[in-house]
Amino acid sequence: MKMTRIISDSMYAAVPGLIIGFHGCERSLRDDIINERKKLRFSTGKYEWLGHGIYFWQNNYERALDFVTHPPDGRKIVRPAVLGAVIDLDHCLDLLDTKHIRNLKSGFEMMLNAALGREEKLPPKQKQD
């Protein structure tokens, strides 16, 4: 039996709805953000495997708290806290979606081929704790 494709690919190009995200940080920073005295800045550490940015754990308060109590760069957070946010995903790279996983694989292969064409090596894989 042949399946007919009813849903177009573009129908789910944007993720509908909102999600709750959690960001681990120092308590004073959380309070400053809530009171609009500061804004979150892009993190530029070596440990961001998806690049520099502001990271939130989707629907996972405990993971954000674990991250801020055990930072990957070894620094000590004196008063760990978690900032919650309502986030509109709109157009995003959702690594739970097979289509986006394929895009990520394709992008890596393009980067690898470009590096090989210039006789360059890719950066070494970073060690995970």
In percent, the amount of the chain with pLDDT more than 70 equals 79
Q: Give me the phi and psi of 23, to 5 degrees please.
A: -125, 125
Whether 33 and 66 share a structural domain: yes
Give residue 68's identity as a one-letter amino acid code. Answer: V
- Please name the helix (run of DSSP H) or strand (run of DSSP E) that holds residue 65, with its range, or none: helix 61-69
Residue 16: the pLDDT is 63
Whether residue 27 is found in the same domain as residue 46: yes
Is residue 129 a part of any domain in this protein?
A: no
Name every residue whose Cβ is closer than 8 Å to that of residue 52 and which is 6 or more positions away in sequence: 42, 43, 44
Domains contained in the chain, number: 2
Task: Please indicate, yes or no, whether residues 30 and 56 belong to a single structural domain of this protein.
Answer: yes
Q: For residue 122, what pLDDT band results from cuts at 50, 70 and 90?
A: confident
Domain extent at residue 104 = 92-121
pLDDT digits (tens, 9 = 90+) for 30-72: 999 999 999 999 888 776 767 778 889 999 999 999 999 998 7
Residues 6+ apart with CB under 8 A from 17: 89
- Assess if residue 38 is contained within a domain: yes
Q: Is residue 75 part of a domain?
A: yes
> Among candidates 70, 55, 71, 69, which has minimal Cα distance to 22?
55
The pair of three-digit structure tokens given for residue 66, joined into one six-digit string:
């674990």
**For residue 95, what pLDDT band results from cuts at 50, 70 and 90?**
confident
Residues 70 and 84 grouped into a single domain: yes
For residue 110, what is the enclosing H or E element?
helix 98-117
Collapsing DSSP states into helix, strand and coil, what is residue 32? helix
Q: Using an 8 Å Cβ cutoff, are 22 and 82 in contact?
A: yes
35, 68: one domain: yes
Mean pLDDT for the chain? 81
What is the model's pTM?
0.63
